[in-house]
Structure 1
Amino acid sequence: MSDAEEGSTNPRRWKFQFFVRMVWPERNLVMTAYPEETVKSVLAQIAWVTGMPLKELRVIYNGKQLQLEKTLEECGIENDCNLNIVGRLRSGLYPAASHTIDCVLSLLGQVWTCNTQRSCEALNTLTGLITRYFNLPGFVELFAASNAPAMLVAVYNKPCGARTGKLAESCITYFLSCARAKNSQSVSSGAVMEFCKQLRKIGRGRDDHLYVSCRNTLGHLLETIGVSYGSGSVKKRVSLHDVFSFVPELADRLLMGLDNSKQCRNITRPSLGDVLDFKTFLAPLRNQIILQQQLLRGFVSGDGNCSVEKDDDQLLAEEVDYLRLVFLRLLSTMDECFNCMAECMVDKEPGGKGFVLYPSWSMYLRILKELYDTSKVFDGAEEMFWTILRLHKNMLSALVVGFVRIGDEHRWILDNRSVTTFECRRHLAMVLFPIEREDFDMFHEMLIDRSQVLAESFEYIGGAKPESLRSGLFMEFKNEEATGPGVLREWFVLVCRGIFDSRHALFVACPNDCRRFYPNPASKVHPRHLEYFRFAGRVIALALSKKVQVGIVFDRVFFMQLAGIHVTLEDIRDADPYLYRSCKQILEMDANFIDSDALGLTFVREVEELGCRKVVELCPGGKSLVMNSHNREHYVDLLIQHCFVKSISEQVSNFAKGFADILSSSKVQEFFQRLELEDLDWMLHGSDNTISIEDWKAHTKYQGYEESDCEISWFWEIVGRMSAQQRRVLIFFWTSVKYLPVEGFRGLPSPLFICRTTEPSNRLPSSHTCFYQLCFPQYSSMAVMHDRFGVITQEHIACSFGTS
């Protein structure tokens, strides 16, 4: 910018006095020139003082560029006029973009020197240029390399310029929105980084809303395209050191938020934005540290093929040390946060009265994920991380159950099962099921004859569309009034009993545990056996999704195949104890004895199929391959795979397909990988523990009765005298729950209710199984009550009295 004024040092000659004001960096110069001097000579003086290259400078007067060889007098420069001196960018590969950037800089020069009205017009014109030319090849790269970001930020920060400042802010914000556009992301990071740097220089950082917006946009670009290296003739980029510059402020913000979360438990601090920004800027730095470690160890050659410039863009030792310090500080703070959680939850039963998960704890899992990923970078850090989580496994489980609703982002927790509980693993598996919509019009309706439960259920479930089954089930038994969840729970038990009944030849029970099943290799005797396995997969998945314990469990060989895990000798211990012992003996026998061929074994197996026996080779040429001490392990493995994998692969595959029909995705293996076999046992079968009367009482409420009433005292005394079987029958009558959850009564979706009725005292108790209500009148004596309950606790008639 320049001002020209008349001087009076020589009465015969006058000269121009120029006041040169530079926008960035802010600087004022005073220069003189005579009218006969050329424009070029004036620019030469400016170039000499400022260090800017002469060939890149030009002068704008009244909107026109002055010719370098003309004199000031020939250009018609008047007293007290304004001139704009701008630097022309080299066009290189982008002449059109270069010309446009010149216009941008010229407009910004006008903004700085003109009145408010003209400045606002110039800023509006500038926004229009960005709109029109943002996607012009080279525009964004040249914009970032020019003085434009610095000049725009200077206008935004200009004192006494509220109107122009707002327009500059709007212009920058619009540029950011263009940068986020899908077709512009790969070239925009350098320009957005420049805005961040300039806002920091003027002290607008950390909490300034425009700076935060720029930082968020840069984070979005880094997450989308990674660390950008630029293209074309302009080598503007976001370096790793640029990325690192954000970590201290983000780490401090995160630590402050965690400290606040311990004090203000009802406020969500730190915010999701803080955590996501920290994650975005930390991830490329972690990757760089790993790469540098690999380079040091010789895993990656430094021959130029590496995506990181070895000399120019490696993290410095002090930067790596700082990241380790951030990890330690955050891990220590998370330890304190867990202790604070534990204090809040002392003596509070999960899901019980007074149990509260505060909103401020909701970000803990995301922070732990970043700490876990970072722990892999530094020696000894991973063990430190898992040690802290082992100390707080119950709190970790509470966070998982309380806040994880869907998705895979918390699967990392299962990388170390010692920090997980059953509730944690079960929840991480259960989130793979879709959320059931309570739309009764969409429910899949079934009307089942009790005498044909398996066959009719197969037709209803096997022929249904998966989306129909995921919407919910509504069923009733023929000629019975009862409907609702209680009836549905009973149906699950009955249909599973039919599926796993040995008479249907679909599954085989383990010799040592009749509750444990795996697919029957000879199931093909059933003409539609593969369809039934898909049906079985659907039923089991539905039962799990609705948390109904059906009283059966899977054998390990079945579980391992569903999880996609290789079946080994130890896995067949329950399925075939005889084969297990035989294989163990082969592996433990003296090598010389084995090599003598005393056993006479080759790589074959004799099988029976549809009443016929035949010899099957375990591998090509197995008949002529003699088992010896060198290949006996291979022989045992092939034998196991043939007996328990290959022979039932079709059955397992169809069961898995049916199971996948109910999941929100087809990740059947992932569902079972998230669980231990014992977890699945508890989910399918429920508790084997003796029913606790005290636990029963603690989860029972009263309607129409008071806990102190004599009828309630009689009831619990009668229950205390019942056999274990009678108690189970009573619970089934009351709730249609055949097998209690592993947590006991706490695991039921609702407390139990004892309700007083106005019926005559000669009436038997009744129940509303949907609502877990047991109803009975005021009996005249404990003997009468004992007699009435003795009737309904006979298993063969108990199901006749539940009404809903």
Structure 2
Amino acid sequence: MSSTHSKRKLEDYVDELLSLIHCPDATRMRKDQTALPSSSNSPVSFRPRSSLAESTSSPARLQFFVRMLSERTLVVQAHCTDTIKTIHEKIQRITGIPVIEQRLIYRGKQLQWENTLAECDVQNDAGLHLVGRMRSTEHPQAWQLMDDVVSMVFYLYKNFHAKPPNLVPSKTVKSMLLEFLSTTPRTDSNQSSSHLQIFISSSAPAALVMLYMSSHKPNRDVADDAIRQFVSSIKHVLPKSTHYLCAPIVLEFCKLLNGAAGTDDPLYTLCRSSLGTMVECEIGEHKEMIGICDIFRFVGELAAKLSHNLALSMDTSSCLGPSLNEVQDFTAFVVAARKKIEEHVVSCGPIRFPLGENCCLPVPDGEEITHLHGIFNNLLGKMVDCLGKIDEHLEMRASSDNETLFFGWCQYLTILKELNSISKLYAGAEELFWDKMRQRKDALCYLTVKFAKRIDDHKWILKHKEVTNFEVRSLLVMMMLPEAKDDYEALHEMLIDRSQLLAESFEYIAHADPQCLRAGLFMEFKNEEATGPGVLREWFFLVCQAIFNPQNALFVACPKDRRRFFPNPASKVDPLHLEYFSFSGRVIALSLMHKVQIGIIFDRVFFLQLAGETISLGDIQDADPYLYSSCKQILEMDPEAVDQDALGLTFVHEIDELGSRKLVELCPDGKSITVNSKNRELYVDSLIQHRFVRSISEQVAHFAKGFADIISCQKLQRCFFRSLYPEDLDLMLHGSESAISVEDWKAHTEYSGYRETDPQISWFWKIVGRMSKEQKKVLLFFWTSIKYLPVEGFGGYVFQLILPCQSCEIDFVSLLRSM
């Protein structure tokens, strides 16, 4: 909308509204008051509707009063030759009451439409009564309220310093607008819509914007405050299900403010943001409230701002960049635009260019579709350049200790996320987007580590693990887990006997409300005084050692790597084995949540099933080396030898169940199906699926359910594992395999009662430096209750070194020297 056109439209509103309330010389007033004049020393004279009117100079012109059912009185001016129908039409323009629903009574008689005022003998300053049912919307109070608002606005516009007459002092424009919102019907969307439509039909938006553009600051403040409260109160006053019905009102404010005040005006920005929230949340279900053209008007406007500010943010000497409000608004309107287009992309597939190549064109105009594609290409190019600047920054940082973060960078991830969503609409665009991200992998990882927030959705990055590193993947999946709280009263308390560690831990964890566990744990051992994080870390280590102890029959260790485990197919020897798998899933999730390395690794076959992936021959190499070797030989054998029944195999599998051998058919009538060169791949796959999928499916499902109890969602649980490589989870659960660095240990130690320069501290670190690898692990566990450090080393924790009191100091030093 051009500024000239918008100004003319606003002036038209002013003329129309002034004529509706019978303000004389409306044109002159508009010229004097509109478009922010530099000064206005004398307010224009104005006669309120309810005040007594002066006699007209012409004997052919009448002024009379119409008393309405609401006890409000209208002042009407007309020629004596005007028909009664003309008066009805004037009343309709003022009140919105349809002519057909009006009846005018004068001197006890109903006035007929075809008669003139002279024929009905209506005298100057006469009083008429309007009777009959009010507007069919059944919202007469709303019409009167908005009529009062418009009257108040125009009175303020004309009379800068006078108090409005015949209005209750406590009723301000702001309070009346809030009352209008509060009286909106809640349960019937049709009733709500007709009620809210009165706001636009009464021309209230134009009147308020006119007041906002007044040269008189108090008037501007009144309008600004009133519009802000009205728009902001929608989400608080109305039910969420009806917010979308207010979109046309807010859109009207946006259009008027755009033309009158410009897109940088703070009030316009507020209205645009509110409208964006409405269309983002509701457009899929209520797509007729705001048209595609209106949505794209804002998409284009915001895209242009982002493009300009991205260009500025590439200048490292500039502190400018995309603002949070601009990015949020852009995202909101693009979401709405995408939903409009996606309805057709589902049936027609990604859009190809030129549009004539599509088998069926989407309903939205090709101009909008082309426009959004152009926005995608422009902003993607800008973002690639911005990521290139970050790569340059990373190279310079590698040779310097300085860390500088620039203002615009914090919005880059959100912009990239939305560009990724847009790319799914167009053929080839998604491949182009991720190809660019692979080229700028380091910059993307840096942005993610620095600016990713727990409240945001990062699955769009995790679906493309090839553009991430371990630091990014572990950071983002940890954001799926709850944050342990510091509030002691919110923690789930446990008091456990070491001699009954597994059984009592099971009672505390398996039977607890998951919501309580998500707050965090507080742990004490019976008859021991120690408390705090160290005790909790020790409990995690000990209980996990018990859970994965092969003697408890829950998990089986891999023959080649005893740190690796997968569920035991024979775990049903314990009647509670499935409950214990749920308990195990909760414990593992809690250990990750509390960032405790437990020294346990999941075998690949277990990890892949938790991620919902299929198991193939290469995945069982560690879990069952003998079966892997046998299956590999079957697949590599000469086909003729296999067809001659050299193997003597059928589709059965022999298993050891509770000490006895048992044959299980891998398919119906498997005993009679001989393995040959054509079905040997099916045989190997069936063998693997039975051995590592079907035989432990219940155990895996219960473990996953326990894990999901902590992460709060079954779908999120699967996403957690799919977002990682098996090696990532190894590092997160087991911890670092690197030798303990004494220098790193010293750098992350705090001292209580001592200084780093004290001789006792110097002796301590000298002795630790002479220790063997195993001795350091023993000391680490004694001091911190952990045996395995996180991948980042001691930087993952901050330890406090508390030495004994002075009287015990010599013995302690002697002990250290003897180690």
TM-score bin (small chain): 0.7 to 0.9
Instruction: Quote the offset at 1:240 in angstroms.
Output: 0.9
**Aligned 8 A contact 1:501 1:507 in 2:** yes
**Aligned 8 A contact 2:558 2:624 in 1:** yes
| Alignment correspondent of 1:47 | none
**Aligned 8 A contact 1:508 1:519 in 2:** yes
How far apart, in 2, do the equivalents of 1:193 and 1:243 lie? 10
> Structure 1 residues 733 and 96, CA, compared in 2 at 3 Å: closer, same or farther?
closer
User: Out of 225, 239, 242, which is 1:184 matched to?
Assistant: 242
- Further displaced range: 688-697 or 409-418: 688-697
How far apart, in 2, do the equivalents of 1:259 and 1:78 lie? 71
**Aligned 8 A contact 1:251 1:326 in 2:** no
Instruction: Quote the offset at 1:118 in angstroms.
Output: 5.8
- Further displaced range: 211-220 or 476-485: 476-485
How far apart, in 2, do the equivalents of 1:153 and 1:687 lie? 65
**Aligned 8 A contact 1:604 1:622 in 2:** yes
> Structure 1 residues 610 and 580, CA, compared in 2 at 3 Å: closer, same or farther?
same
Gaps of 5+ in 2: 1-18, 26-54, 64-76, 90-97, 127-133, 353-359
**Aligned 8 A contact 1:436 1:470 in 2:** yes
| Alignment correspondent of 2:744 | 695
Alignment map for 1:629-648 (pairs within 5 Å): 629-648=677-696
Instruction: Quote the offset at 1:517 in angstroms.
Output: 1.1
| Alignment correspondent of 1:494 | 542
| 1:96 alignment partner AA | T
Instruction: Quote the offset at 1:490 in angstroms.
Output: 2.8
| Alignment correspondent of 1:217 | 274
Q: Give the TM-score normalised by the residue count of structure 2.
A: 0.73
Alignment map for 1:558-573 (pairs within 5 Å): 558-573=606-621
Alignment map for 1:404-443 (pairs within 5 Å): 404=452, 406-407=454-455, 409-441=457-489, 443=491
Instruction: Quote the offset at 1:579 in angstroms.
Output: 1.0
| 1:676 alignment partner AA | Y
> Structure 1 residues 118 and 576, CA, compared in 2 at 3 Å: closer, same or farther?
same
SS in 2 for 1:633: helix
Identity percentage of aligned residues? 44
| Alignment correspondent of 1:86 | none
Instruction: Quote the offset at 1:581 in angstroms.
Output: 1.8
**Aligned 8 A contact 1:534 1:656 in 2:** yes
User: Out of 574, 595, 620, which is 2:643 matched to?
Assistant: 595
| 1:196 alignment partner AA | C
CA offsets 1:332-373 (integer angstroms, 9 cap, x no match):
464267358647965689xxxx86877865443323321221
CA offsets 1:743-782 (integer angstroms, 9 cap, x no match):
22222x1056485853466413xxxxxxxxxxx4xxxxxx
SS in 2 for 1:658: helix
| 1:156 alignment partner AA | L
User: Out of 348, 362, 375, which is 1:323 matched to?
Assistant: 375
User: Out of 47, 56, 69, which is 2:114 matched to?
Assistant: 69
| Alignment correspondent of 1:199 | 257
SS in 2 for 1:763: helix
Give yes or no for the alignment of 1:745 onto 2:773: no
- Further displaced range: 418-427 or 699-708: 699-708
Give yes or no for the alignment of 1:139 onto 2:188: no
Give yes or no for the alignment of 1:96 onto 2:137: yes
**Aligned 8 A contact 2:307 2:378 in 1:** no
How far apart, in 1, do the equivalents of 2:316 and 2:102 lie? 59
**Aligned 8 A contact 2:621 2:628 in 1:** yes
CA offsets 1:593-629 (integer angstroms, 9 cap, x no match):
3333332322221112112222111122222333333
Instruction: Quote the offset at 1:142 in angstroms.
Output: 5.2
SS in 2 for 1:136: helix
How far apart, in 1, do the equivalents of 2:78 and 2:751 lie? 102
Alignment map for 1:402-801 (pairs within 5 Å): 402-404=450-452, 406-407=454-455, 409-441=457-489, 443-446=491-494, 448=496, 450=498, 452-477=500-525, 480-666=528-714, 667-700=716-749, 715-747=764-796, 749-751=797-799, 753=801, 758-759=806-807, 762-764=810-812, 776=813, 788-791=816-819
Instruction: Quote the offset at 1:430 in angstroms.
Output: 1.9
How far apart, in 2, do the equivalents of 1:650 and 1:393 lie? 39
Give yes or no for the alignment of 1:241 onto 2:293: yes
**Aligned 8 A contact 1:43 1:58 in 2:** yes
Alignment map for 1:210-359 (pairs within 5 Å): 210-226=267-283, 237-255=289-307, 270-290=322-342, 313-316=365-368, 319-328=371-380, 330-332=382-384, 334-335=386-387, 338-339=390-391, 342=394, 346=398
Instruction: Quote the offset at 1:643 in angstroms.
Output: 0.4
Number of residue pairs matched by the alignment:
716
- Once superposed, what is the RMSD of the aligned Cα atoms? 4.9
How far apart, in 2, do the equivalents of 1:95 and 1:43 lie? 16
SS in 1 for 2:277: helix
Alignment map for 1:121-132 (pairs within 5 Å): 127=177, 132=183
How far apart, in 2, do the equivalents of 1:416 and 1:168 lie? 49
Alignment map for 1:27-38 (pairs within 5 Å): 36=81
How far apart, in 1, do the equivalents of 2:751 and 2:350 lie? 72
- Further displaced range: 502-511 or 706-715: 706-715
How far apart, in 2, do the equivalents of 1:363 and 1:549 lie? 34
Alignment map for 1:380-419 (pairs within 5 Å): 380-390=428-438, 393=441, 396-397=444-445, 399-404=447-452, 406-407=454-455, 409-419=457-467
Instruction: Quote the offset at 1:162 in angstroms.
Output: 6.2
**Aligned 8 A contact 1:7 1:17 in 2:** no
**Aligned 8 A contact 1:703 1:756 in 2:** no
**Aligned 8 A contact 2:351 2:425 in 1:** no
> Structure 1 residues 704 and 588, CA, compared in 2 at 3 Å: closer, same or farther?
same
CA offsets 1:478-534 (integer angstroms, 9 cap, x no match):
565544332332333333223222233222111111111111212233454334333
How far apart, in 2, do the equivalents of 1:675 and 1:721 lie? 38
**Aligned 8 A contact 1:268 1:359 in 2:** yes
**Aligned 8 A contact 1:40 1:69 in 2:** yes
SS in 1 for 2:688: helix
Instruction: Quote the offset at 1:699 in angstroms.
Output: 3.5
- Further displaced range: 440-449 or 33-42: 33-42
User: Out of 354, 364, 369, which is 2:417 matched to?
Assistant: 369
Instruction: Quote the offset at 1:569 in angstroms.
Output: 1.5
How far apart, in 1, do the equivalents of 2:244 and 2:456 lie? 28
**Aligned 8 A contact 1:35 1:72 in 2:** yes
Instruction: Quote the offset at 1:323 in angstroms.
Output: 1.9
CA offsets 1:126-176 (integer angstroms, 9 cap, x no match):
856676567736625854874725643554356457676666666655664
Q: Give the TM-score normalised by the residue count of structure 1.
A: 0.74
How far apart, in 2, do the equivalents of 1:790 and 1:147 lie? 92
Instruction: Quote the offset at 1:419 in angstroms.
Output: 2.1
| Alignment correspondent of 2:71 | none
How far apart, in 1, do the equivalents of 2:154 and 2:771 lie? 96
How far apart, in 2, do the equivalents of 1:193 and 1:380 lie? 34
Instruction: Quote the offset at 1:105 in angstroms.
Output: 8.8
**Aligned 8 A contact 1:444 1:474 in 2:** yes
> Structure 1 residues 789 and 393, CA, compared in 2 at 3 Å: closer, same or farther?
farther
SS in 2 for 1:613: strand
